Amino acid sequence: MGEHPSPGPAVAACAEAERIEELEPEVEERPPAAPEDMSNKRSNSFRQAILQGNRRLCSKALLEEKGLNLSQRLIRHVAYETLPREIDRKWYYDSYTCCPPPWFMITVTLLEVAFFLYNGVSLDQFVLQVTHPRYLKNSLVYHPQLRAQAWRYLTYIFMHAGIEHLGLNVVLQLLVGVPLEMVHGATRIALVYVAGVVAGSLAVSVADMTAPVVGSSGGVYALVSAHLANIVMNWSGMKCQFKLLRMAVALICMSMEFGRAVWLRFHPSAYPPCPHPSFVAHLGGVAVGITLGVVTLRNYEQRLQDQSLWWIFGAMYTVFVLFAVFWNIFAYSLLDLKLPPPP
């Protein structure tokens, strides 16, 4: 997927600019300075081709191109789903090769499904697994009494409250996470996702100190919140079809999942005195999505280290993590909080 029968206009422009440079080596002209919004991902010859007028892009929009095969239409669809500028959409369409494929979100999703099926078979329960008396005994679940086991702040994403919980998270991961990874790459998407997961469990350890945590909602809500915020911030440039309706559907799905989590948290526990898992991880994911996530996914073409806002939000996230770590070390004993017994 992503292989085109003929080089796109952006690639042709690059080649032409490079041929010009080879034919005129004796002319040492300083290329004009690139504008601020010019891509750092694009080569200097590509920039020079644009600035010298050698980039022969079609006057018609990418949406109007005819005769595309299935893979080309899919890549075009992803471009319009995630990128607000036509120049970026055409660049992405011409340069995308599906190498590497969007492996991160697919791998995480498969692992979550595999762990859920394993737990469903071992507990003989698939709906509302979290109500099973032996559910919290799993070593992947975050439990406040076992908060010193650092891996639990991350591995809780492989445990879900039930098939209804897993199903919505998987749908959002695949429908939102995979296209975002195709455009922005596994590194950026993994950064936002893992940051949301860790922020979710740490937020629970600070704000809902007696509750366990399960599910990948922290990472999912970070990705979806960042994507929706970018759509709002670039509303006029986003050309995806029915964007208002689709935003409404996404918000409804997120609200339903959050409402389910709130209801479950205050539902009579199946293993008193320990309550059911907390819903605060969802809020931690949203906080990461609208701050660090927005900056990470905002500029398709700009390197993260060149964005001042990325450093600011990165510093804020680091301060929160350090605060939560010290809170977990000292606050529980200072507050003399009575925690539920370990599972």
Catalytic residue IDs? 217, 282
Nearest to 139 by CA among 162, 115, 120: 115
* The one-letter amino acid at 63: L
Contact of 208 with 147, CB cutoff 8 Å: no
* The one-letter amino acid at 22: E
Contact of 176 with 224, CB cutoff 8 Å: yes
Distances (CA, A) of 13 to 18, 31, 67, 211, 334: 9, 16, 22, 58, 65
Q: What is the DSSP secondary-structure string of 218-256?
A: HHHHHHHHHHHHHHHHTTTT---TTHHHHHHHHHHHHHH
Contact of 55 with 94, CB cutoff 8 Å: no
Spatial distance between the Cα atoms of 200 and 280, rounded to a whole number of angstroms: 7
